Amino acid sequence: MTRTLERILSRVQKPGRYTGGEYGEVRKDPAQVDFRFALCFPDTYEIGMSNLGLRILYGVLNGMEGVWCQRAFAPWGDMEAEMRAAGLPLFALESGESLRDFDVIGFSLGYEMAYTNVLNMLDLAGLPVRAADRGEDAPLIVAGGTCAYNPEPLAPFIDVFSLGEGEEALPELVELIRRGRQAGWSRKELLREIAGLKGFYVPSLYEVSYHGDGTVAAIEPREGAPFPVTKRIVADLDHSYFPVDTMVPSTEIVQDRATAELFRGCIRGCRFCQAGYVYRPVRAKSEAVAARQALESCRRSGYEEMTLSSLSTSDYRPLVDLCDHLLEYCGPRKINLGLPSLRADNFSMGLMQRLQSGRKSGLTFAPEAGTQRLRDAINKNVTEEDLLNSCRTAFEGGWNAVKLYFMLGLPTETDEDVLGIADLARKVLYTFKKYGTNKARGVRITVSTSCFVPKCHTPFQWEGQVDMDEYRRRVELLRGAMRERAITYNWHDPETSLLEAVFARGDRRLADVIEHAWRAGARFDSWTEYFSMERWLDAFREVGLDPAFYAGRQRSREEILPWSVTDVGVRQDYLWREREQAYRACITPDCRKQCTGCGANSFLKGGKCDE
Amino acid sequence: MSDHRIFYRKEDTARYISHLDTMRTFQRALARAELGVRFTQGYHPHADVSILLPLPVGFSSRCEVLECTLLEGTDLERVSERLNAVLPRGLWVEGCAPREKAPKELTWVDYQITLEYDGGTPADWGEQVRALLAQESWVVEKKSKKARTGVTTLDLIPLIRSLTWKEEGDRVVLEGIFAAQNPGLNPQVLVDALAAARGELRSDYARFLRRSLLDSRGETFR
């Protein structure tokens, strides 16, 4: 550690974020390293280190001979100020080397509100934020993650987007860059070659033109670049890398526990859920592999808590066997086994009760909508009966706190649907009054609403978002209808939802807005202490773009969508059909009942998902 | 009451692990090393460990003590080796032994303090400090969570058993033995007091190293 850094660390909050040195961190002999890969997460250490994808890629890349993958996170404001004052460029935690000396800087993009941090981290590394301004020798800037499915707002800043799962794609990228280095390719030549690799989108090779009304007129690939660019997946999860010997941070992080991954993709097809579409097809690990990885992760990390991760845990076929298996190990060692994202059904509740030891805290359900009609429209296959039965089981078992999550502003929502949320909350309250075993303690029912954000590659990608005033009106309507003391109502502010809706479906011209906001001081926009809507609205005004054009406008089937250059394997006509089903409030059966032909099975040999 | 003590160093990047996080880090390291320890009772049972004298974040130490109860049959000789294989950088176990002295016998702590003066050490540094130490009493205000006003006063003089120093170019290396507890003297408080008393004594950076724990007779506390 340098003297400069040591002095800075004595003045900042949570200095342990900036030192590395955790158990499981990979250190290599620089003499044996010919390729440096900086894996960056554009948020704090505590959030970035909680990301399983980052840990997978860290392990995969460090498993390559001569490659040293290191980490960097966004420094908090106090640290940023100190670094800028001292002229200390952004460095990697493992070696302390400046990021600008790396071969590749890779960003994981999980949410739109982290975009300004990407620019800020590039700037802190001493690099021009725009790809066009970076020199021949600058590191290659790569970005992947869920947000890469609409890469356009970041297109001018990023050299290469990696679409889909990276564990097989990134090693191919590294090998190609090595080959280019030997052959003496220019940056331009390298980018052209990368565009030929499966799953990589090189935005500078595509020209976008616009109609007078601001919609996209054409997206034209140049120099033989493919159109569209199809995402990558790992077909066989049983034989793919999983970080059982992962890092254990010495300071507390958000997800401070061992994680086992059960499957990728989701059979449910909730129409608002981007993850449910972009992670298709469904691929499960076998029980034996999931159990082995889970136990190894526990044993080698020493964590006192383990969580089973996937989009909908209760849909894992051998879940009961797996839990029995894990409990044999975890029980005597007092390791807590957590099952997130359980469905509100009898099966899941039975399982919950068996796993729960000690104090019974709150349970969380996400009915998403207040009436059966709207739940059918969004294809959230949960009935009121399921929910109330689950609550009954919970209350009878001694639980006395329930959290219910909803969205306001879902397509086709009426005031009746909004008021349905209040009805449902009240029915949960009556269920407690009737069946609660611990009535003296009372019950806490927390209703939370957020503003629906239409996302690309979902059936609602053509929808307009309700504007902020309308969202606020619906919040007030709901608030007025829930006066019971046992019911608490929390609602998210719609400002960040509006911006998310803009960037989730925006085009390249928005890059100017992002850069403008960042230059005006925007960073950590998902943190209320940093966020300023004023600053964003100023940026839109300065650049001459209207957020409502992107967020609130209903798009037609014919419109060329800015993200049509990316292909997740689910066909656009399938999404449109799902949208029509939504307007008829018709449900689509889950993938296990019947294949409805979304197209994602084409990624798998034999075309069979979820085997 | 715990039966065993694990003696360890906390240096390098591990200096920035807080007190609570250090306990958590050891709980997990004990599990990784498959060293069984007694657990707490109650709703959330966890490995029952405690650290004798909390070390401020940023300080190095060669003499930290973690208390726990290793399960019967544990080979104490091998504890260091097994833990050192699974600890993060900067934490290093030097030994493990049955508990000897009661915590209340921990009386003094030996510290090394390095003060860096980028513009060179003030010319009469030694004289000024000697004058401050020669006072009958040297009362400073100290933040307190317990006091209603948020501040308590502390007389430094009785808490300093000895203090010597060497001037080395643009830094001064101090060696001091300070009260450990009830009340203890955090050497940062002394460094701040120097700067508060005489502005020119304010250093650009202070580095702290805890070197040993002593009982009331000045013997090593184990």
For residue range A192-237, list pLDDT tens digits in order. Answer: 999 999 999 999 999 999 999 999 999 999 999 999 999 999 999 9
Which one of A250, A253, A300, A330 makes the best mutation probe of the B interface by having the most chain B beta carbons within 10 Å?
A: A250
Non-local CB neighbours of A45 within 8 Å, separated by 6+ positions: A14, A17, A18, A73, A249, A251, A253
Residue B189 gets which letter from DSSP?
A: H
Report yes or no: A95 at the B interface, CB cutoff 8 Å. Answer: no
Picking from A90, A146, A93, the residue whose alpha carbon sits closest to that of residue A115 is A146
Rounded CA gap, A475 and A415, in Å? Answer: 11
Report yes or no: A338 at the B interface, CB cutoff 8 Å. Answer: no
3-class DSSP state of A434: helix
Report yes or no: A23 at the B interface, CB cutoff 8 Å. Answer: yes
pLDDT at A553: 97
- Measured between CB atoms, which of A21, A299, A301 is closest to B13? A21
Domain-embedded: residue B220 = no
pLDDT at A360: 63
Rounded CA gap, A600 and B131, in Å? Answer: 81
Domain-embedded: residue B68 = yes
Residues B202 and B145 in one domain: yes
Rounded CA gap, A201 and A205, in Å? Answer: 9
The answer to whether residues B209 and B115 touch, using CB atoms and an 8 Å cutoff, is no
Backbone angles phi, psi at B68, to 5 degrees: -160, 175
Residues B141 and B76 in one domain: no
Residues of B in contact with A358 (CB under 8 A): 42-45
Are the beta carbons of A7 and B205 separated by less than 8 Å? yes
- Residue A396, min C-alpha distance to chain B (Å): 20
**Could you say which of B99, B114, B129 is where a domain stops?**
B99
Report yes or no: A9 at the B interface, CB cutoff 8 Å. Answer: yes
Residue B41 gets which letter from DSSP?
A: -
Residues B13 and B64 in one domain: yes
Domain-embedded: residue B109 = yes
Are the beta carbons of A334 and B205 separated by less than 8 Å? no
pLDDT of B44 > 90? The answer is no
Domain-embedded: residue B162 = yes
The domains of chain A, with CATH numbers, are 3-230 (3.40.50.280), 235-341+568-611 (3.30.750.210), 359-492 (3.30.750.200)
Domain-embedded: residue B52 = yes
| Pairs of CB atoms within 8 A across A/B | 84
- Residue B10, min C-alpha distance to chain A (Å): 12
Domain-embedded: residue B219 = no
The answer to whether residues B212 and B220 touch, using CB atoms and an 8 Å cutoff, is yes
Residues B92 and B153 in one domain: no
- Name residues of chain A where pLDDT drops below 50: none
Task: Tell me which residue range forms the domain holding B159.
Answer: 105-214
pLDDT at A63: 98
Residues B126 and B81 in one domain: no
Residues B116 and B190 in one domain: yes
Q: HSE-up of A451 (CA within 13 Å, CB side)?
A: 24
pLDDT at B27: 97
User: So what's the ipTM on this one?
Assistant: 0.94
Report yes or no: A10 at the B interface, CB cutoff 8 Å. Answer: yes
Token pair of B43, please?
């709703």
Domain count, chain B: 2
Residues B60 and B146 in one domain: no
Residues B90 and B112 in one domain: no
Residues of B in contact with A6 (CB under 8 A): 205, 207
Residues B153 and B129 in one domain: yes
- Measured between CB atoms, which of A7, A15, A248 is closest to B16? A15
Residues B176 and B208 in one domain: yes
Instruction: Count other Cβ atoms within 10 Å, centred on residue A595.
Output: 13
Residues of A in contact with B209 (CB under 8 A): none
pLDDT at A400: 86
Report yes or no: A13 at the B interface, CB cutoff 8 Å. Answer: no
Residues B137 and B209 in one domain: yes
**Could you say which of B99, B119, B148 is where a domain stops?**
B99
- How large is the average pLDDT for residues B74-87? 97
Domain-embedded: residue B221 = no
- Residue B218, min C-alpha distance to chain A (Å): 31
Q: Which residue of A has its CA nearest to B58?
A: A10
Picking from A575, A567, A572, A609, the residue whose alpha carbon sits closest to that of residue A163 is A567
Own/partner pairs, A174-180, CB within 8 angstroms, 24+ separation: A174/A35, A174/A37, A174/A61, A174/A64, A174/A67, A174/A104, A177/A35, A177/A103, A177/A104, A177/A140, A178/A34, A178/A35
Backbone angles phi, psi at A536, to 5 degrees: -70, -45
pLDDT at A361: 64
- B178: domain CATH number? 3.30.70
- Measured between CB atoms, which of B13, B30, B204 is closest to A20? B13
For residue range B184-221, list pLDDT tens digits in order. Answer: 999 999 999 999 999 999 999 999 999 999 999 999 99
For residue range B103-162, list pLDDT tens digits in order. Answer: 999 999 999 999 999 999 998 999 999 999 999 999 998 887 777 888 889 999 999 999
Are the beta carbons of A358 and B43 separated by less than 8 Å? yes
Residues of A in contact with B18 (CB under 8 A): 16, 251
Report yes or no: A251 at the B interface, CB cutoff 8 Å. Answer: yes
- B73: domain CATH number? 3.30.70.580
**Could you say which of B49, B79, B99 is where a domain stops?**
B99
Which one of B12, B16, B84 makes the best mutation probe of the A interface by having the most chain A beta carbons within 10 Å?
A: B16
Residues B91 and B170 in one domain: no
Are the beta carbons of A23 and B24 separated by less than 8 Å? no
Chain B residues with a Cβ under 8 Å from any Cβ in chain A:
12-14, 16-18, 20-22, 24-25, 27-32, 39, 42-47, 57-58, 86-90, 204-205, 207
Domain-embedded: residue B79 = yes
